[in-house]
Structure 1
Amino acid sequence: MRHRRVALAVAALTLLGVAACGDDSDDKGTPAFVTPGASAGPSGPAAPTGSAAPGGSASPGAKPTEGTATQKPPKKGGGANQGPVGRGAGESGVLSSAGLGPYALGVAQSELKSAALIGTVSTEQGCGTAKGLSEYARPTLAFSGGKLQRIAVTSTAVTTPTGAKVGTSYPKLKGMYPSGKQLDNWVGAKAWFTLDGGNALLFRIEKDKVAGIEAGPGQTLQFHYTDKQGC
């Protein structure tokens, strides 16, 4: 009889414990399991700016990545200001195969005229001739088709890039231009002719010295001297 009462008491206590457990589960929710290494939510650190998503473009205001140009290409026609037409083509006292000072071979006669670099132009058999300014030793200028074709000087104030000038001895001149050749014209006079690309320099020789220097297109310069053809 005593054992039966004890068993009933134990059963009653067990039922009370189960009921109590049921009440606790209703009051408190089961905590959620957080996966280790999960990314932070809105309150977490912001993603770095300036990086574009795969296949997309960077957001406005972002710093350019390496290799991205930071300057716009220069506008067409920009750069240093240019001087008057015809000026600045070379040194005033140096005659090269490209020209003398502002008198660049191929420059338009009208441009030299408008820049007040030449005076009156005389025309004969389709060739125009004029004199340059005194600050450039008054070179003789020949025009063909409205463009400067040939330049000739007889002043000792003008030299070539190698230092040759009127008065230089013929043997010394040959040493300065060893790749040149001698030309003889229709009356037996001689000149030393040296090519420089498509243009050339021609040194008229008198009494074994340079008497004049000319610059112009190679073939034109040669035939003008040997056969008096062209301008």
Structure 2
Amino acid sequence: MTVLQYVIAGLVLSLSAIYLYFKWIYSYWSRRNVSYITPRFLLGNLEYPWAMKRGFVGTLADAYKEFKSQGKRFGGLFILHKPTFMPVDPDLIKRMMTVDFQHFMNHGNFVDEEMEPLSANLLNLEDEKWKTLRAKLTPTFTSGKMKVMYDEMKACGSQMVEYITTLNSERKPLDIKEIVSCYSTDTIGSCAFGVDCNSFKNPNEGFRKYGRKVIEMDFWTALRMFTIFSSRK
């Protein structure tokens, strides 16, 4: 055999091995008799980074609606080559987050405490770091403190109602996503940091400005996240 033939044979074997590997990975849920959404090669159930329409959250929302419409209590997804469990039934979710939370503490999310400190939150951290942060935050959400937060949330809600009323009187369209995002920003700023953001009157206020950046997803961000998920074990 010539060198070229060896190279071609090596490529064929490599591609065949990759194909068989993904075929085996993508049979994970079927081997466990769990309903799942058919994945696409390499990406799983994700969209192509250069043709994103729904985004990561939209993809998960579509999957949830699909399982729910089928009357399933849970289902399976694939984030690239990683099998991902999606609970649907509220009672099951409650049990996972309370009685059995020690078995579901790791979510496989990206964390870079040095370069992106905001990524090191309770939803992303794993193992001992997750337990430590949860222990610190648990006293914050006692029934007494939640009652105090209620007044702050109600005040933020009044600002939201005032904003919607103004737009309605001026016959302007409502951007529900932006309205809910502003309310969330104001609530977090008020309850967690004691800051009156009032994002409805100050849309470029610091909390809202950087909160918007956290969820923005352009091509380069999508490609970066794709690379991160691909490289994680």
Q: TM-score, normalised by structure 2?
A: 0.22
From the two aligned structures, give the one with the greater helix fraction: 2
- TM-score (ref. length: structure 1): 0.23
- More strand, by proportion: 1
